[in-house]
Structure 1
Amino acid sequence: MELRHLRYFMAVAEEQNFTRAAKQLFIAQPPLTRAIKQLEEEIGVELFIRKSRGLELTTGGRYFLEQARQILDKVNATVNDTRRIAQHRKTVFSIGFVPSVFYGQLPLMVRRLRRNKNLEIVLHELKTREQVDALKAGKIDIGFGRIRIEDPDVDQELLFDEPMIAAIPAGNPLTHHRPSMKELSAWPMITFPSGPGPNFSDLTQGLFHRRGLRLNVIQQVNDLQTALSLVASDMGFTLVPEQVRRLHREGVEYMPLDDDNITVPVIACRRRGENPNAVMRLANTILDGLVENRLTGRYP
């Protein structure tokens, strides 16, 4: 099996048609058809169901597509990192993060890692689910997220639980006192990110649902900055982790909640079973110190 077989397979799977896939790959259709047939024979599994109107992935084909994507992502990441290392003679350390963790300890960790002149730090803004996939594909070395996702190839470590606060339009009556979850539920809510879960939006809405409170979600947006812009426009409130209060925004006031123990986790993700190299050991040492500062009140 060659890498071209995986690329050919992915093109056919995406197009669900040999003719369109061949055009995408800039090859003739007969060689493409033969290559897919050879791939199926080598694996010993039919990857496609041939129908009159096109192709459909089999159950095995769907699984193979997911694995092929991860393999090619890993290859591409390895090639890019190799080129970067050759050009700069540096070790690349890639970090995935959700935006809401970038206002606390993470910038300090990046700053300290960058003191090592032999390191090049690459940052990738990724949702937690995307971080898990990126770890498995070798695109990142460590990820920082909010959501627990079970995966046999990835370890998730709870660093600490962070209090939630409410971002409220300036001058709103809710800014005159610590609002309760019940009071907030009576106001329009903005959630982020939009899209399929599990994500931070599911987590924040679940805080209300578990208390038997109904919500009026008027807008789902893709990112924190947009959510805060809508809050500043007096569209509604949103819940954010405590460290976001460092992001000063005109027209937005950050209020602690009246309810106790309303928290959201900060989770580190790493590849399971991988012996940490020197860079990872350095990152872990820096991270341990920052988390200790957070837990003992020496914030950040």
Structure 2
Amino acid sequence: MNEQDWTLLESIYEEQNITKAAERLFISQPALTYRLQQIEQEFGIKVFTRSGKKIQFTAEGEHLVHYAKKMQLELRKTKELLANLQDIDVRGSLKIGASSNFALYKLPSIMKRFVDLHPHVQVNLRTGLSSDIFQLLQDDDVHLAIIRGDYHWIEQKFLINEEPICIISNHPIEIDKLPLLPRIHYQLGAKKDKIKYKTDSFLSKSIENWWQDRFTVPPIITMQVDSFETCKELVKHGLGYAIIPRICLTEDDEFYTMDLVKQNGELLLRKTWMIYRESAMDLSSVNKFVHYVRSVYQE
């Protein structure tokens, strides 16, 4: 197998569709199928099986995809190392996975300053739920991840910040009156009776535990939205209160806020972590970005 074969296998695995993989690689479907057959003959295996329009990778196929990703990473490291030996400027790719909220409220200014410092670094950013971003890192689809909440990670990690979770409203409210007031609830992908609600489990569970420790009745949820910005707009217009992380508030927001406090008197905090593999630090682009982020938040 060669570099083109590694890319071919990864594309098929990610698309789970031969036609889409061929379009992504800008080659014809027969050409892709022929090269796939050559790989199967070379190793004496079936890469995947078909069931109608769906494909299912075999155990051998899964192993080859893992090998392909590993070899692509090693090739990138080698190319960047050789480039940097000839040039004092940092070059290469930087694949970042980031929590949607951090990407919206904090990451743009960080990325702007970093790119200004290292204009030859090619940045590839993927955003989404922290759980999905964590999986991308585990699968080596990104070099590093910026996630919110506490995940079990045995390699390198750095606490970027931690901020309170707070109540926002457009007028002062007494916390003991919350069970009697309408609440605007954030849930990613919220659509009544259409799809299963999907939200950040760590955030949702933290708020739920805080509520159950304080009240004996459930909240009056009158609206469910899939965006913190929509949530804030509804609160701004007096349609209820909301509970959101402070990272979502900007200098232009004019809400009455109240941080959530646990029974022991501690603030209910939301942590943001930068996590990565030690081996990724061999890439100069990753190394520079990690140290840059550390310098920003250590200050």
Q: TM-score, normalised by structure 2?
A: 0.63
Match of 1:187?
Answer: 182
Q: Given the alignment of the two structures, is residue 39 of structure 1 paired with residue 39 of structure 2, yes or no?
A: yes
Q: In structure 2, what is the Cα distance between the partners aligned to 1:26 and 1:121?
A: 25
Q: Which amino acid aligns with 2:224?
A: Q
Secondary structure in structure 2 of the residue aligned to 1:4: helix
Verify the 8 A CA contact 1:16 1:56 in the aligned structure 2: yes
Give the TM-score normalised by the residue count of structure 1. Answer: 0.63
Matched, 1:264 2:250: no
Quote how far apart the aligned CAs of 1:57 are.
0.8
Residue 252 of structure 2 is matched in structure 1 by: 248
Take 2:91 and 2:145, find their aligned partners in 1: how far apart are those partners?
A: 18
Question: How far apart in 2 are the matches of 1:266 and 1:66?
Answer: 31
Deviation at 1:197, TM superposition (A): 11
**What per-residue deviation string (whole Å, max 9, x for no partner) do you get for residues 69-102 of structure 1?**
9569969998xx99xx99x955468555435447
CA contact (8 A) 1:135 1:271 kept: no
Contact kept in structure 2, 1:194 and 1:201, CA below 8 Å: no
- Equivalent positions of 1:188-207 (< 5 A) are 188-194=183-189, 201-207=200-206
Q: Which residue of 1 aligns with 2:236?
A: 232
> How far, CA to CA, are the matches of 1:104 and 1:165 in structure 2?
16
What is the alpha-carbon root mean square deviation over aligned residues?
5.1
**Residue 176 of structure 1 aligns with which residue?**
173
Alignment partners' CA distance in 1, 2:17 and 2:64? 12
Q: Does 2:295 match 1:286?
A: yes
- Taking a change above 3 Å as real, the CA distance of residues 184 and 109 of structure 1, as seen in their structure-2 partners, is farther
Write the mapping of 1:3-18 to structure 2, written as runs, cut at 5 A. 3-9=3-9, 14=15, 16=17
Displacement of 1:163 after TM fit? 1.5
| Deviation readout 1:203-259 (Å, 9 max, x if unpaired) | 3321243353645373241x4323322332444433222344434235x43332354
> Contact 1:97 / 1:125 at 8 angstroms: preserved in 2?
yes
Mapping 1:27-176, distance limit 5 Å: 27=28, 29=30, 31-51=31-51, 53-54=52-53, 56-60=55-59, 63=62, 67=66, 91=91, 94=94, 96-98=97-99, 100-101=101-102, 116=117, 122=123, 124=125, 126-127=127-128, 128=130, 129-130=132-133, 133=136, 137=140, 139-140=142-143, 142-150=144-152, 155-168=156-169, 170-171=170-171, 175-176=172-173
Find the counterpart in structure 2 of residue 296 from structure 1.
none
Q: Name the SS of the counterpart of 1:231 in structure 2.
A: helix
Q: Structure 1: how far apart are the matches of 2:222 and 2:295?
A: 39
CA distance in 1, matches of 2:5, 2:272: 40
3-state DSSP class of the match of 1:176?
coil
Cα distance, 1:274 vs structure 2: 4.2
Aligned pair count?
Answer: 276
Distance 1:96 1:4, change over 3 A: closer
Unaligned 5+ runs, structure 1: 291-300
Kindly, what percent of the aligned residue pairs are identical?
13
**Is contact 2:46-2:60 (8 Å) kept?**
yes
Deviation at 1:107, TM superposition (A): 7.3
Q: Distance in 1 between matches of 2:121 and 2:17?
A: 40
Q: How many Å separate the matches in 2 of 1:22 and 1:107?
A: 33
Q: Aligned partners of 1:224, 1:279: CA distance in 2, in Å?
A: 32
Shift of 1:176: 3.0
